[in-house]
Structure 1
Amino acid sequence: MAMTRQIMTWMARFAERQEARPLVGGQSVPGSRDLRDADQRNLSLERWHLLLLLMLLALPVLVKLQNNDFWAHAKVGEWMWQHRAIPRENLFVFTTPHYPWVNHSWLSAAFLYFIYRMGDIPAVQCFEYLCVALSFLILWKLWVRERNASGMALAAFSLAVATCQFRFQPRPELFSAVGMSFLLSFLVTYCAGQRKHLWSVPPLVVVWTNFHGGVLNGLAVFAVFWVAEAISTWQEWRRGKKGIGPHDVATRQLKHMTLVFAVSMLATVINPYGFHYYSSVAPGRIAMLRGYLLEWGPLVDFLPQLNTFTLSAMSLFTALALASFVEMKPSLDSSGRTKRSLRLRATPFHLTPFLLTVFATFLAWQALRHLWTATQILLAVTMMNLFVTRASIRRSVSMRRWNVAGVVVAACVGATLFYQNVSTSQRNGIGVDPSSVPLGLVRFMDANHITGRMFNTLGDSCYLTWKLCPAQKLFIDILNAYDASILAAAHQVLRGVPSPQVNIRRWNLDYAIFLEQEISSPFAIYLSRSPAWALVYWDGRSMLFLHRVQRFRDVIERHEYRLTNPSALGENVPADAVDAYLNEVRRSLRNPVKSPPLYVVAGNMFLQVGENVSAERCFSEAQRRDAFDVRAHLGLGICALRSRKPERAARHARWVLMLRPRTVEAWNLLGSAHRENRNLRKSAHAFRRGACLDKGNSFALRNLADVLESLGERDEMIRCLQQLVKNLPSDWDQRQRLALALLSAQRFREAERQLQIMLQQRPDSTPTMYALAVAKSRDARVAVGDIVTLLEQAIRIQPGLKNLILTDENFDRFRELPEFKKLLGRPQ
């Protein structure tokens, strides 16, 4: 709230020092010679600000190409160039052959493939940068057309870049962003009186329709402008009816906008699919995508994945847009003193900025994929609210402050973007990122002529589509040319529902491909343990399982991994198989595609059998290839901890936490390093953070309980043990430890409940019977017979307990009772 108020104060002071000048019909109020000189001085400053913005855009855009939508859309473009046709049915999946497909991005696919053919991946990345830059430059022109607010524009645009950076990818959405900027420019300048007509919009809609389905968002923005104009015209009509003023100009403007809007709506049917175009954005289809794809989910689901700096930039951008709606105006109070008060800013756009803000919020709330569009709309809203200001003859203090603030904000956003890249393993540069696309897998499949019906997941389908199709068909691809049943089937197969055997028979699968994040899925684990399947390839990035059939026999004999399996990391390796296990790990390192994930997985496998030196060598090689690889630093930290070097392990853990503060494994490593170094307070803090981030982090909870016990913090240790036994109900040792801690804290009823559960798990445990009898002896509601029965059972199993019962003070008040005398064999 304080941040928003400060922004509003700065903007209000800036507005006070401006000369209000409405722009009507493109005519400007003539300025003095001093004003023209000031404009010339500001022109060079504006150019420097623009250069800073262009440099800022390079950080999120010019990153090495990963396994994203570009590959699939480029493959569609290649198919179109080869067949001289527009696809009308499913092309690349075997699960829904001949499924009708409305490809609303067909022209984008052809264009992206053309760019690729012209200059390979560097040309694609340069084209991506040009499109992203153009989408912002069009709006920048609206901001600085008066050459008086480039500092404010730099701050706003820098925050906007940080907000929507996640959508900067070489995909059809690029064309939609450019189209939205052009549309906003046409509409804003028309409503401000600087454009005579809107007939540029229908041709834009025709082109936009064939490039991307985001044209419907553009038409919705046009509808918002029309609604605001209609309300304004109605208000003018009411005032004109009362004789307050003319309204014929507003009426003509509304009629013109209505006609252009109607023509623009009709222009959307100028596409190869006609009215069927709208079937690709039907509500049922959108609901299907929202259920399975993150980018179709609401923005709030994505926010927890962001770092603090990016969230701060997004919050500042939103605050700036909201602050533009108000201004601080001076007024005289009853004593004649000047006071300032907040009020809504008066603009020539009436309700348009407010309605656009509501619509932008709705878009971002509906789906993450609309974040870029929502950001563009909010930029236009902020500009519209400040559209009528003009620089004063003398350069104001507020202007200088905004210039400084713009540069500072741009520098902070640049640091945020760089941090975002390194913390998410994105590499700045030109080319393809080998650690994110299955290069080695595709080479292996080509070299060994592996064909048939495959299982793949949605995440790895993009690059596989580019390399394998149409010679081979996928189980699922990213083009969404299928119904909801295929998305559901892919998730069911991955989860092993109803069972892996049923799914294999249903789809007649010959081989299966898994990405790194799916190697621990139930289906991958089943294939790794099934004798009917063989693991023949893994590189840390992907895995390939082959069905043991005759045509794969030679490949399996030459390449099968019988012992090493990324899905089975953590399982014990038999002592007589260690040498064969190590040989397989070394064989995997002969993969011609050297990537950090390969060395990280190999290092973890070496650690599994105690080969600390080889593991450290692998992690070091992974770190050499990618200095910001989080898993490489974690592996080096574990190696250092095993080598009794806790300081070095702590350094690696802190490095990981600097990049990804929510990495549970790093907090575990840091806590272990501090514990090894006898710094129990810091160790407890690290384990506590790890347990807070992941309630199921049993390693942190177990070690935290040990450290807290050493520190004498019994109450927190009990809470820690309670969470631990909740996570691991069958862990008898930790439950016993919790029961004893509760007994020592004299929390006998809670201890009694834990001991009863323990007795159910191990009915013959005499220590548990004895401890439960002690707990019951402190509960006045428990009958003596229950205590005697427990002790009788314990004595029957271990007769020596009689002597302990005779000396135990907990039973002093029962010794004279007949039941106890009989139990202990004493005369009554």
Structure 2
Amino acid sequence: MESHGPKPTINNVARSPTAVPPNGKASRSSSRAFLLLLPLIVLPCVVQLAYTDFWMHAAAGRWILENRAIPHQNIFTYTAREHPFIDHTWLSQVVLYLCWLIGEVPAVRIFQIALVVLSFATLWRFWIRQGAPASLGLVVFSTAIFVSAPRFSPRPELFAAVGIALYLTHLYEFAQARRRHLWWLPAYMLLWVNAHGGMLTGLIIIAAFLCGQALDALRQRTQRRAAGGADSSCGGASASGLRHISAVMLTTTLVTFINPYGAQYYSALNPARLKIFTYQLTEWWSLLRAWPSMDLLTQTIIVVLGVVTAVCIVCRKERFSRSSALLFLAACYLLYTARRQVWTFAQICMVIIAVQTSGLPSVASLPVQLRRLGTAVACLVLGAMTFHQYARLRQAGIPLGLSVFWEDPPKGAADFIEKHTLQLRMYNYMDDGGYLAWQLYPQNLLFIDQLNACGTDLLQWDDKMVDGREIQSVVDHFNFDSMIITNEYFNSGLVQYLANSSDWAMVYWDAVSCLYLRRIPAFSEIIASDEYRALVPHGYRTRRGADNGNAIRAETERAISSGIETAALHITTGKLRLRMGETRRARTAFSRAAQLNPWDSRAFSGLATVCLLEGNDVSAARYATRALALNPRWSLPWKTLAQTHMHREDHRRAAKCLMQATRFASPADDAHRSLGLLLFQLNENKRSVEHLTIWLRSHPEDLDARFTLAQAYGSAGYAEQAREVFREITVAFPGHAPAWYGLASMEAQLGESDAAINALSESIRLDSRMRSLAQSDTAFASIRAHPEYRKLTQ
């Protein structure tokens, strides 16, 4: 019997036969397909707890529970104690701290996984109920999960992700008559507004959806009037439906004021405060600013996901929805303003694609071969995303596990402070503020934390310290008596200042962090007993005059015994052993580092260097290859691998390895020099010129490289450029006979007979062996008849 149900629209598309799976079996099968996505979702959540802002939020949650109050001003720093603080995330901070109390890292990770899975499971359920193809869903979800994965850290943003998923699905289901009301949205907002400041995204979603529904209704009303039809309904959304969404939006907006700060909650929108987020926090950078730092796969997925969503909106005219169009524009705008919105962008795109593809022919109606092909493509994409997810984690060097990754936070320095019960007025970097607040508060306050409850003036002071500008003026202004430095900044201008200053003493070092104390009477005993005199923070460079190997060994052993055993400490120890020629002990140190962190490419690169020095090219190549498997964008293992090929006289492979090294090396790296010299031997003169030129920009004093550059110019047919380089060499090194000889040959090729004779004469005067070379050199064919040439070569 023919069905006479309502015509499918955005208001009743749920009733269309194409909007649901054909049968319960297909629905259950599609639901089980979500299980295939779980490894991709869970994988980034089961690495060791790295240096995220979890510690900052957990410290704030602890303070809230201990004080039974919500903070209204800065609580962790001495530099901004009176600065107003609106803690938008107080509820999630309490939850994260309670998770830590219950089971530390495992409990935190379980809670994190639960929220991430809940957000995507909500969207997958919506996808299946729309009747969108499950195979297409696997492709869309796997790519969206991949680009969103960097945001899967234990932080308040997880609550926002769940809120966005619920808001999107509830709104569309109400418009499709799957839900009778939207009064759950204000209830969700009551939690959201106290868990994360991103609740504004929820209001944007409702507003965009409401505007789109109103525009659809207005358009269809106009069409009906033009056709002379009745106007009893608003078409795409009924008048009562629009009133309901409007009432829910108004209620939801009012609910946002139910927080500990009331209307002051919105003071965070102050442009001065927003400027803080984009000042130093890379996650708040605009998309254009952050784009170069993204990997190619992430860039590609963002573009493709956006294009596919736009095509789905525009091309399926029979299902065109202005709500979807406005939501997509909102998603693009959010992503454009801040890279951290990539997860929100992906969620909105997934929902829109689900709605726009829900009217496609049922998968069950397709030929078996097409269904199998779709399933195969979906599994291939899912497998590729999982592989790249795993590779990205390996490259980050953070191993899998449910424990803390101690290679980043300054735990050793903080333990030293607690052990000696020091009361300090310390300087610290913003990135370290979270963990230091977690471990040192309330005994010690910080210079700066990660809660952004400060003015831009403090960030400007911090910039001067980070950049090494006007350090002394900042020290005097804040009267620092101590500084905690982590290994990310061991080669900074600040560390150079401290290492060369007689006013500061390094009393703790473990290659992850170090602690400097000012030489004042209060610290005299600690400095006398614990100062490191032979080492500086970067570890493998000694102070001037500190050549005593025994002192270096003693201080290294002290660091190993007194600090936390980390791969970074053993890697630095291995480098020190290599510097002192102790290859056997270096091997032991690097091997221990590899045991502590099998994903640290530095350990295997160090082992490769040891094997190379021992003449074991096979093992050196194996370790270098393993280092590259962990971090293919590192030049040092490529250079080591090139050396093993050079020892086997496989110059072509060596050149390929050096070419890879130069891709990831700085212009001042000697990989450019080595490649330039090797390419000249291989008679690839133009490429040799390119790399030698790069090298000489930062090393103009390198005579051998400059001489080879001149030869490469000449061999490539650039006689004038070769002549100029030879002239530069003869001016800088007048006694360099080969340079005079090369200059003579270039002058001869350019038809400058007299200049060629003069240069040849000088080269023979400096080295008589040049005479025999000139006798058979075809470069002088044009001047062989010259009388002076005959005299010089006789």
Confirm or deny: 8 A CA contact 1:324 1:386 kept in the other structure. yes
Q: Secondary structure at the residue paired with 2:515? A: strand
More off after superposition, 380-389 vs 681-690: 380-389
**Hey, what's the Cα distance between the residues in 1 that align with 2:23 and 2:677?**
70
Residue 296 (str. 1) matches residue 284 (str. 2) = yes
Q: Which amino acid aligns with 1:461?
A: G
User: Which residue number in structure 2 is paired with residue 374 of structure 1?
Assistant: 345
Q: Secondary structure at the residue paired with 2:667? A: coil
**Hey, what's the Cα distance between the residues in 2 that align with 1:56 and 1:235?**
43
> CA distance change for structure 1 residues 274 and 717 in 2, over 3 Å: closer, same or farther?
same
Q: Secondary structure at the residue paired with 2:188? A: helix
Aligned length: 776
Deviation string, structure 1 residues 43-96 (Cα, Å, up to 9, x no partner) = 442342233333432211222211211111111111112222221111112222
Deviation at 1:297, TM superposition (A): 1.3
User: Which residue number in structure 2 is paired with residue 487 of structure 1?
Assistant: 459
Residue 619 (str. 1) matches residue 607 (str. 2) = no
> CA distance change for structure 1 residues 666 and 483 in 2, over 3 Å: closer, same or farther?
same
**Hey, what's the Cα distance between the residues in 2 that align with 1:166 and 1:254?**
37
Q: Decide which of 46, 56, 68 is 1:62's aligned counterpart.
A: 46
Deviation string, structure 1 residues 670-706 (Cα, Å, up to 9, x no partner) = 1122112211000011111212333515321221123
Q: Decide which of 89, 92, 114 is 1:130's aligned counterpart.
A: 114
Residue 553 (str. 1) matches residue 538 (str. 2) = no
User: Which residue number in structure 1 is paired with residue 249 of structure 2?
Assistant: 261
Q: Decide which of 574, 597, 611 is 1:603's aligned counterpart.
A: 574
Q: Which amino acid aligns with 1:543?
A: C
> CA distance change for structure 1 residues 551 and 574 in 2, over 3 Å: closer, same or farther?
closer
Q: Decide which of 542, 548, 558 is 1:587's aligned counterpart.
A: 558
**Counterpart mapping for 1:767-778 below 5 A:** none
Q: Which amino acid aligns with 2:404?
A: V
User: Which residue number in structure 1 is paired with residue 266 of structure 2?
Assistant: 278
Confirm or deny: 8 A CA contact 1:674 1:683 kept in the other structure. yes
Q: Which amino acid aligns with 2:205?
A: V
Q: Which amino acid aligns with 2:433?
A: S
User: Which residue number in structure 2 is paired with residue 713 of structure 1?
Assistant: 684
Confirm or deny: 8 A CA contact 2:735 2:766 kept in the other structure. no
> CA distance change for structure 1 residues 392 and 514 in 2, over 3 Å: closer, same or farther?
closer
Deviation at 1:652, TM superposition (A): 1.9
Q: Decide which of 483, 486, 503 is 2:474's aligned counterpart.
A: 503
User: Which residue number in structure 1 is paired with residue 61 of structure 2?
Assistant: 77
Residue 139 (str. 1) matches residue 123 (str. 2) = yes
Deviation string, structure 1 residues 722-757 (Cα, Å, up to 9, x no partner) = 221123234344223323444565634323433454
Confirm or deny: 8 A CA contact 1:600 1:631 kept in the other structure. yes
> CA distance change for structure 1 residues 30 and 600 in 2, over 3 Å: closer, same or farther?
closer
More off after superposition, 252-261 vs 204-213: 252-261
Residue 46 (str. 1) matches residue 45 (str. 2) = no
Confirm or deny: 8 A CA contact 1:240 1:247 kept in the other structure. no
> CA distance change for structure 1 residues 646 and 21 in 2, over 3 Å: closer, same or farther?
farther
> CA distance change for structure 1 residues 458 and 247 in 2, over 3 Å: closer, same or farther?
farther
Q: Which amino acid aligns with 1:567?
A: H
Confirm or deny: 8 A CA contact 1:46 1:147 kept in the other structure. no
Confirm or deny: 8 A CA contact 1:202 1:264 kept in the other structure. yes
**Hey, what's the Cα distance between the residues in 2 that align with 1:720 and 1:229?**
60
Residue 727 (str. 1) matches residue 698 (str. 2) = yes
Deviation at 1:489, TM superposition (A): 1.9
Q: Secondary structure at the residue paired with 1:535? A: strand
**Counterpart mapping for 1:381-396 below 5 A:** 381-388=352-359, 391=362
Whose RCO is larger (CA < 8 A, sep 6+)?
A: 1
Deviation at 1:419, TM superposition (A): 2.2
User: Which residue number in structure 2 is paired with residue 455 of structure 1?
Assistant: 427
**Hey, what's the Cα distance between the residues in 1 that align with 2:747 and 2:245?**
84
**Hey, what's the Cα distance between the residues in 1 that align with 2:399 and 2:49?**
9
Deviation at 1:505, TM superposition (A): 1.7
User: Which residue number in structure 1 is paired with residue 82 of structure 2?
Assistant: 98
Deviation at 1:110, TM superposition (A): 2.3
Residue 423 (str. 1) matches residue 395 (str. 2) = yes
**Hey, what's the Cα distance between the residues in 2 that align with 1:409 and 1:720?**
38
Q: Which amino acid aligns with 1:237?
A: R
User: Which residue number in structure 2 is paired with residue 645 of structure 1?
Assistant: 616
**Hey, what's the Cα distance between the residues in 2 that align with 1:670 and 1:56?**
33
For normalisation by structure 1, the TM-score amounts to: 0.85
Residue 216 (str. 1) matches residue 188 (str. 2) = no
Deviation string, structure 1 residues 120-148 (Cα, Å, up to 9, x no partner) = 33222111111111111221221122677
Deviation at 1:596, TM superposition (A): 1.1
**Hey, what's the Cα distance between the residues in 2 that align with 1:300 and 1:230?**
33
User: Which residue number in structure 2 is paired with residue 352 of structure 1?
Assistant: 323
Q: Secondary structure at the residue paired with 2:129? A: coil
User: Which residue number in structure 2 is paired with residue 340 of structure 1?
Assistant: none
More off after superposition, 399-408 vs 228-237: 399-408
> CA distance change for structure 1 residues 759 and 420 in 2, over 3 Å: closer, same or farther?
same
**Hey, what's the Cα distance between the residues in 2 that align with 1:459 and 1:465?**
11
Q: Decide which of 221, 237, 251 is 2:221's aligned counterpart.
A: 237
**Hey, what's the Cα distance between the residues in 1 that align with 2:290 and 2:578?**
34
Confirm or deny: 8 A CA contact 2:164 2:344 kept in the other structure. yes
Q: Decide which of 231, 242, 246 is 2:231's aligned counterpart.
A: 246
Q: Secondary structure at the residue paired with 1:477? A: coil
> CA distance change for structure 1 residues 30 and 185 in 2, over 3 Å: closer, same or farther?
closer
Q: Which amino acid aligns with 2:113?
A: Y
- Structure 1 unmatched ranges of 5 or more: 1-18, 327-342
Deviation at 1:554, TM superposition (A): 2.1
More off after superposition, 53-62 vs 242-251: 242-251
Deviation at 1:632, TM superposition (A): 0.6
**Counterpart mapping for 1:630-669 below 5 A:** 630-669=601-640
Deviation string, structure 1 residues 418-476 (Cα, Å, up to 9, x no partner) = 22222212332222122232222222221123331212112222211110123212122
For normalisation by structure 2, the TM-score amounts to: 0.88
Q: Secondary structure at the residue paired with 1:513? A: strand
**Hey, what's the Cα distance between the residues in 2 that align with 1:803 and 1:318?**
70
Q: Decide which of 471, 488, 493 is 1:517's aligned counterpart.
A: 488
User: Which residue number in structure 1 is paired with residue 159 of structure 2?
Assistant: 175
More off after superposition, 713-722 vs 371-380: 713-722
Q: Which amino acid aligns with 1:285?
A: R
Confirm or deny: 8 A CA contact 1:233 1:254 kept in the other structure. no
Confirm or deny: 8 A CA contact 1:755 1:772 kept in the other structure. yes
**Hey, what's the Cα distance between the residues in 2 that align with 1:206 and 1:617?**
57
> CA distance change for structure 1 residues 558 and 95 in 2, over 3 Å: closer, same or farther?
same
Deviation at 1:363, TM superposition (A): 1.9
Deviation at 1:660, TM superposition (A): 2.3
Q: Decide which of 665, 675, 678 is 1:694's aligned counterpart.
A: 665
Residue 472 (str. 1) matches residue 456 (str. 2) = no
Q: Which amino acid aligns with 1:82?
A: E
Q: Which amino acid aligns with 1:453?
A: R
Deviation at 1:379, TM superposition (A): 1.0
Deviation at 1:350, TM superposition (A): 1.6
User: Which residue number in structure 2 is paired with residue 569 of structure 1?
Assistant: 540
Q: Secondary structure at the residue paired with 2:447? A: coil
**Hey, what's the Cα distance between the residues in 1 that align with 2:380 and 2:736?**
68
**Hey, what's the Cα distance between the residues in 1 that align with 2:197 and 2:399?**
30
> CA distance change for structure 1 residues 147 and 227 in 2, over 3 Å: closer, same or farther?
closer
Residue 410 (str. 1) matches residue 398 (str. 2) = no
Deviation at 1:284, TM superposition (A): 4.0
> CA distance change for structure 1 residues 769 and 118 in 2, over 3 Å: closer, same or farther?
same
Residue 683 (str. 1) matches residue 667 (str. 2) = no
Confirm or deny: 8 A CA contact 1:77 1:111 kept in the other structure. yes
**Hey, what's the Cα distance between the residues in 1 that align with 2:516 and 2:730?**
45
Q: Decide which of 709, 732, 736 is 1:738's aligned counterpart.
A: 709
Confirm or deny: 8 A CA contact 1:226 1:254 kept in the other structure. yes
